[in-house]
């Protein structure tokens, strides 16, 4: 584990295999090596999406939405940028907002992202889902960067989850304060992302899982 971070305390671990909760659970899954190599060698996004279609079609409750292939430079403390500005701004820990505001955050689609690069990447998250944060309860969908920064000043615990090449994560990124970091990487960070409502995580050959809630600060299961 890179310097500056501590390993999770095993005493905080809790099993989530019996009752998956898609508003709070984070899953790590592996894809077959042959599929991973096909993803890496895909000449374009359409070819890459075709590979994912063959892999994930039966794991979704409904249709899913591709968000595309993303590349980040190595050495970034956080990697998400606001590309709507004239000068791209790294926004830091944030919430995604792809779904309509009228949908409660605890009921929105979760996200999968497959690491198609050559190095381990890290998903960063705060260990309490947004729908359980009392400071946000009166804001509804209007939780913005100002409110997030104010909250994190007094609630600064973050977890970092390793996602190795050929692995992916499932996470409720519309209900979870999160970002990614490329610190310690030497090569570009590459991954393909989509949104969807997933069937129980065990259908995706999960090798790790995390639950975030009021009582625990995150739960980790290694392969």
- pLDDT of 88 higher than 90: no
Number of domains the chain is built from: 1
pLDDT interval class at 115 (50, 70, 90): very high
Nearest to 25, CA basis, from 130, 159, 170:
170
Evaluate whether residue 122 is within a structural domain: yes
Which pLDDT belongs to residue 10?
47
Evaluate whether residue 181 is within a structural domain: yes
Mean pLDDT of the chain: 77
Evaluate whether residue 198 is within a structural domain: yes
Which pLDDT belongs to residue 54?
76
Contact 126, 157 (CB under 8 A): yes
Evaluate whether residue 23 is within a structural domain: no
Which pLDDT belongs to residue 72?
93
Evaluate whether residue 7 is within a structural domain: no
DSSP, residue by residue, 178-208: EEEE-TT-SS-EEEEEEEEPBPPGGGGTEEE
Evaluate whether residue 140 is within a structural domain: yes
Evaluate whether residue 15 is within a structural domain: no
Q: Which two tokens stand for residue 82?
A: 């606001």
Average pLDDT for 129-149: 84
The pTM for the full model equals: 0.81
User: Which of these ranges, 2-6, 70-74, 183-187, 196-200, has the smallest mean pLDDT?
Assistant: 2-6
Range of the domain at 170: 31-207
Q: What percent of the chain has pLDDT over 70?
A: 77
pLDDT interval class at 199 (50, 70, 90): low
Evaluate whether residue 26 is within a structural domain: no
Which pLDDT belongs to residue 178?
93
Average pLDDT for 2-19: 49
| 20-67: pLDDT as tens digits | 677 888 878 888 888 888 888 888 888 888 888 877 766 666 677 888
The domain that contains 173 carries what CATH number?
2.60.120.10
Strand partners of residue 113: 169, 193
């Amino acid at each position: 584990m890179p310097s500056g971070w501590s390993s999770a305390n095993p005493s905080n671990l809790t099993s989530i295999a019996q009752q998956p909760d898609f508003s709070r659970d984070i899953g790590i899954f592996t894809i077959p090596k042959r599929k991973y190599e096909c993803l890496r060698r895909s000449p374009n996004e359409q070819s890459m999406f075709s590979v994912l279609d063959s892999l994930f079609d039966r794991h979704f409750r409904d249709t899913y939405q591709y968000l595309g292939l993303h590349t980040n430079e190595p050495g970034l403390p956080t990697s998400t940028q606001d590309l709507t500005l004239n000068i791209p701004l790294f926004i830091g820990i944030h919430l995604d907002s792809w779904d309509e505001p009228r949908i409660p955050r605890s009921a929105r689609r979760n996200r999968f992202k497959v690491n198609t690069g050559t190095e381990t990447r890290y998903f960063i998250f705060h260990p309490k889902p947004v729908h359980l944060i009392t400071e946000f309860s009166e804001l509804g969908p209007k939780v913005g960067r100002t409110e997030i920064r104010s909250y994190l000043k007094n609630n600064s615990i973050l977890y970092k989850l390793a996602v190795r090449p050929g692995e992916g994560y499932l996470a409720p990124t519309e209900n979870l304060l999160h970002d990614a970091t490329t610190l310690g990487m030497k090569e570009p960070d590459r991954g393909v992302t989509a949104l969807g409502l997933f069937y129980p995580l065990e259908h995706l050959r999960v090798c790790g899982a995390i639950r975030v809630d009021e009582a625990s600060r995150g739960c980790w299961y290694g392969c």
